[in-house]
């Protein structure tokens, strides 16, 4: 890839993202002005975050690519102090919770708060690393490029592969269960009937749904997919920009930072879009997404660092360690989140309210601890990879 090709691609990609964002912004304004009383709030929030994501990442990416194409020098990456982004995140989430509780002007007030509640932890996670790796040899525009790759390219690739592979694996598992597991055919028929009833507008029976979904063969298949296969795929895809540009990375700190930025971008898009589907539990979802962002960023940083060790330093075992550690971290997060989802469904039923609520609280506490591990991991690894001040690397 030539020196001029990469900046040109970044500029064109940024312009395209900005155009999509501007279009979504117009649609959001139309929804607000003309059909807000009849529109679903989740749809309005999703439209707004698509606009904010396209414009907020696309425009800076286009400008950075243009500066690089013109031969202008890069600048060191900036950072947001902890004492700013942590309180700001809590204030935004608090305001959003108040808006949701009041139920007043949700289509107008909630979307920007939703975007900030997701974007601030993303900026914070990246800042924890850039404050210590400013001299690692990665410029601010390269950092932005990695974040944009995670937000747009990696997210699209992961979603497409997960849909295809998940459908194939799920369908294969269903056939095997129906053929080889006693009672499997009848169990599949019951869950299909229940889901069809729900899709037709029927009432949801939480106890019935949980009892069907927690049948051991289904649990095994679900754990394999959600806690095994999907983390394996995502951790191989999220830092794809770091893999492609590994030749331009001069230090292990820069490799870790590039992967971390890509993972943060992935977490940004995932949090914005998935969070828009969970407005009933908006406050809890935003708090969980703050931890999920750190998990994605830290995991991708480990994978990119491992790739640098394997490719540039000829230490394949360290590359394998980085990937396995990331998959284990990601799979553990998914396992706990899946447990919270089941406990919450069960908690809607009177017969399982106490046990489901206690389990949900326990699992949420474990997710909070895992989030803290991810944030602290970013700090510790960044500090260990921080280059000496005398070895100030050139900014590309």
Q: Return the pLDDT at 299.
A: 98
Domain assignment present for residue 187? The answer is yes
Domain assignment present for residue 57? The answer is yes
Q: Is there a single domain that holds both residue 95 and residue 184?
A: yes
**Do the Cβ atoms of 134 and 76 come closer than 8 Å?**
yes
Q: Is there a single domain that holds both residue 212 and residue 292?
A: yes
Q: Is there a single domain that holds both residue 214 and residue 237?
A: yes
Q: Is there a single domain that holds both residue 225 and residue 349?
A: yes
Domain assignment present for residue 396? The answer is no
Q: Return the pLDDT at 51.
A: 96
Q: Return the pLDDT at 104.
A: 77
Gap between the Cα atoms of 327 and 362, Å rounded: 23
Domain assignment present for residue 357? The answer is yes
Q: Is there a single domain that holds both residue 353 and residue 205?
A: yes
Q: Return the pLDDT at 106.
A: 83
Q: What totals of helices (H) and strands (E) does the chain contain, helices first?
A: 15, 0
Q: Return the pLDDT at 391.
A: 43
Q: Is there a single domain that holds both residue 51 and residue 104?
A: no
Q: Is there a single domain that holds both residue 91 and residue 63?
A: no
Q: Return the pLDDT at 275.
A: 79
Q: Is there a single domain that holds both residue 84 and residue 20?
A: no
Q: How far is CA 84 from CA 35, 89, 123, 262, 392, in A?
A: 37, 9, 11, 23, 28
User: What pLDDT tens digit does each residue of the chain (396 aa) get?
Assistant: 555 788 999 999 999 999 999 999 999 888 887 765 556 788 889 899 999 999 999 999 999 999 999 988 888 888 999 999 999 999 999 999 999 888 878 888 899 999 999 999 999 999 999 998 988 888 899 999 999 999 999 999 999 999 999 999 989 999 999 999 998 898 888 888 877 887 777 676 767 777 777 888 988 999 999 999 999 999 999 999 999 998 888 899 999 999 999 999 999 999 998 877 777 788 989 999 999 999 999 999 999 999 999 998 999 999 999 999 999 999 999 999 988 887 776 544 434 444 556 788 889 999 999 999 999 999 999 999 987 763 444 444
Q: State pTM to two decimals.
A: 0.91
Gap between the Cα atoms of 274 and 290, Å rounded: 13
Q: Give the torsion sign (CA, 211, 213, 218, 224).
A: negative
Q: Which of 13, 37, 72 is the last residue of a domain?
A: 72
Gap between the Cα atoms of 136 and 143, Å rounded: 12
Q: Is there a single domain that holds both residue 299 and residue 336?
A: yes
Among 61, 71, 70, 81, CA closest to 16: 61
Q: Which of 72, 106, 122 is the last residue of a domain?
A: 72
**Rounded to 10 degrees, what is the CA torsion of 14, 245, 391, 130?**
40
Q: Which of 26, 56, 72 is the last residue of a domain?
A: 72
Query: What is the extent of the structural domain holding 89?
Result: 79-391
Q: Is there a single domain that holds both residue 256 and residue 381?
A: yes
Gap between the Cα atoms of 42 and 28, Å rounded: 12
Structure tokens at 111: 């979307």
Structure tokens at 198: 């729900």
What is the number of structural domains in the chain?
2
Q: Is there a single domain that holds both residue 64 and residue 125?
A: no
Q: Is there a single domain that holds both residue 24 and residue 128?
A: no
Q: Return the pLDDT at 349.
A: 43
DSSP structure string for 342-391:
HHHHHHTSGGGHHHHHHHHHHHHHHHHHHHHHHHHHHHHHHHHTPPPGGG
- The b/e string for 42-67 (b: 16+ C-beta within 10 A; e otherwise) is bbbbbbbbbbbbbbbbbbbbbbbbbb
């Amino acid at each position: 890839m030539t020196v001029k090709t990469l900046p040109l691609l970044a500029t064109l990609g940024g312009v395209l993202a900005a155009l999509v964002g501007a279009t979504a912004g117009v649609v959001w304004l139309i929804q607000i002005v003309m059909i807000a009383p009849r529109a679903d709030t989740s749809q309005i929030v999703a439209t707004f975050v698509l606009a904010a994501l396209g414009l907020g990442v696309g425009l800076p990416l286009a400008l950075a690519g243009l500066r690089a194409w013109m031969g202008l020098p890069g600048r060191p990456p900036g950072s947001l102090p902890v004492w700013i982004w942590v309180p700001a995140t809590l204030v935004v989430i608090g305001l959003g919770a108040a808006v949701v509780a009041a139920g007043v002007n949700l289509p107008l007030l909630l979307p920007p708060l939703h975007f900030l509640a997701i974007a601030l932890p993303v900026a914070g996670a990246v800042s924890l690393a850039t404050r210590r790796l400013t001299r690692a040899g990665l410029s601010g525009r390269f950092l932005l490029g990695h974040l944009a790759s995670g937000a747009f390219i990696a997210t699209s690739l992961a979603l497409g592969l997960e849909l295809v592979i998940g459908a194939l694996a799920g369908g294969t598992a269903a056939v095997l269960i129906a053929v080889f597991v006693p009672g499997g055919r009848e169990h599949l028929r019951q869950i299909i009937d229940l889901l069809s009833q729900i899709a037709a507008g029927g009432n949801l029976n939480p106890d019935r749904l949980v009892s069907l979904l927690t049948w051991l063969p289904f649990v095994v298949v679900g754990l394999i997919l959600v806690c095994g296969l999907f983390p394996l795929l995502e951790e191989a895809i999220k830092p794809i920009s770091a893999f492609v540009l590994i030749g331009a990375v001069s230090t292990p700190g820069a490799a870790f930072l590039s992967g971390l930025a890509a993972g943060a971008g992935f977490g940004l898009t995932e949090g914005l879009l998935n969070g828009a589907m969970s407005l009933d539990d908006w406050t809890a979802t935003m708090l969980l997404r703050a931890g999920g962002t750190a998990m994605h960023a830290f995991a991708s940083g480990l994978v990119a660092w491992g790739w640098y060790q394997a490719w540039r330093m000829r230490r394949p075992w360290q590359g394998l360690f980085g990937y396995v550690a990331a998959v284990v971290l990601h799979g553990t997060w998914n396992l706990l989140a899946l447990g919270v989802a089941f406990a919450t469904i069960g908690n809607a039923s009177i017969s399982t309210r106490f046990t489901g609520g206690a389990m949900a609280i326990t699992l949420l506490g474990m997710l909070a601890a895992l989030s803290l591990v991810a944030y602290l991991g970013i700090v510790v690894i960044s500090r260990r990879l921080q280059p000496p001040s005398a070895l100030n690397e050139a900014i590309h």
